[in-house]
């Protein structure tokens, strides 16, 4: 769906400004680090805590958010001059809800096992602050192509944090990566070894702490981010 959208925009926007001008590039790169939706704006934290126990879930969750965000940003941007200001939140909700339903059905059809594990959290993308935030803050006031890029940047910024947290949690919590056993059974204490999986990693608090550590590292590397 989003690819169709991108093509349309290219024709419309091409003559004026290069597609990947410095300004447009910044739309993608900024949310990856300096303006990351999770670690800097602290949006969309709930899903980062809830579905980062396994890498597979986190990847599919990120993909779903990315698709919804890109398509939604494009649609809202295209409609931005037609939406009456007073009911704009309702319109935005209708758009997100439609897209999320589509994504949910697609997941159910093609990856039923993942869909089962993600359960309500796909539906809850509707309430994900990143999406409404981008609609309000960007798509309502910008042209279609920059809106799509902005969505791509924010979606990827959300995705890498989610996947990073999920890698830490799955490797140390279950000794697995994408469902494959990393730590041999003979190492386990139950079998006379010395190792034991960290059960705390499975519990939500550790997701919060892992996100916190990422924020810590990020601020230590980039001192501009530290508030006075």
Partner 1 sequence: MKFLENLVLKQIRPNFTEGGKFERYYSAYDALETFMFTPDHTTHSGAHIRDAIDLKRTMMMVILAMVPALLFGMWNVGHFHNLSNGLPSELWPNMLYGMAQVLPIVIVSYAAGLGIEFILAVKNKHAVQEGFLVSGMLIPLCMPADIPLWMVALATIFAVLIGKEVFGGTGMNIVNIALTARAFIFFAYPTKIAGEIWVSNPGTVDGYSGATALGDLAMTVGKAKDVPEVTNIVSQFSDGGMYSMYNSAMGFIPGSIGETSAVAILIGAAFLIWTGIGSWRIMSSMFVGGLTMAMLFNLWGANAFMELPPLHQLMVGGFMFGMVFMATDPVTAAQTNTGKLIYGFLCGFLGIMIRVFNPAYPEGIMLSILFMNVMAPMIDHYVVAANVKRREKRLKLKTA
Residue 46 is a binding residue for partner 1 (CB under 8 A): no
Residue 148 is a binding residue for partner 1 (CB under 8 A): no
Q: Minimum distance from CB of 196 to partner 1 (Å)?
A: 5
Main-chain phi, psi angles of 188, to 5 degrees: -70, 145
From the list 32-40, 104-112, 147-155, 194-202, the region that binds partner 1 by CB under 8 A is: 194-202
Give one DSSP letter per residue of 159-207, joined into a string.
HHHHHHHHHHHHHHHHSEETTEE-S-GGGBGGGT-SB---GGGGSHHHH
From the list 42-50, 63-71, 124-132, 200-208, the region that binds partner 1 by CB under 8 A is: 200-208
Residues 48-77 that bind partner 1 (CB under 8 A): none
Among 89, 105, 182, 189, binds partner 1 (CB under 8 A): 189
* 90/196 with CB nearer partner 1: 196
Comparing CA positions, the residue from 51, 151, 48 lying closest to residue 96 is 151
Task: Tell the burial category of 111 from Cβ atoms under 10 Å away from its Cβ (0-12, 13-18, 19+).
Answer: middle
d(CA 203, CA 223) in angstroms, rounded, equals: 31
Q: Minimum distance from CB of 61 to partner 1 (Å)?
A: 25
Tokens of 29: 């790169």
Give the footprint of partner 1 on this chain (CB under 8 A): 189, 194, 196, 198-201, 203, 209, 212-213, 216
């Amino acid at each position: 769906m989003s690819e169709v959208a991108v093509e349309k925009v290219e024709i419309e926007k091409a003559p004026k400004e290069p597609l990947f001008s410095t300004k447009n590039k910044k739309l993608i790169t900024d949310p990856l680090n300096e303006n990351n939706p999770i670690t800097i704006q602290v949006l969309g934290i709930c899903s980062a805590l809830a579905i980062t126990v396994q890498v597979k879930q986190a990847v599919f969750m990120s993909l779903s958010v990315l698709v919804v965000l890109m398509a939604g940003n494009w649609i809202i941007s295209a409609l931005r001059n037609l939406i009456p200001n007073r009911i704009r939140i309702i319109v935005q909700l209708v758009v997100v809800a439609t897209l999320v339903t589509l994504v949910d059905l697609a997941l159910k059809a093609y990856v039923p096992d993942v869909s089962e594990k993600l359960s309500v959290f796909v539906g809850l993308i509707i309430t994900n602050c990143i999406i409404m935030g981008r609609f309000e803050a960007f798509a309502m006031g910008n042209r279609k192509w920059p809106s799509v890029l902005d969505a791509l940047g924010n979606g990827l910024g959300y995705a890498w944090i989610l996947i990073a947290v999920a890698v830490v949690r799955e490797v140390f919590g279950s000794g697995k990566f994408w469902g494959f056993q990393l730590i041999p059974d003979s190492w386990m204490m139950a079998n006379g070894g010395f190792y034991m999986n960290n059960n705390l990693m499975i519990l939500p608090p550790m997701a919060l702490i892992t996100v916190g550590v990422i924020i810590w590292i990020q601020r230590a590397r980039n001192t501009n981010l530290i508030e006075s």
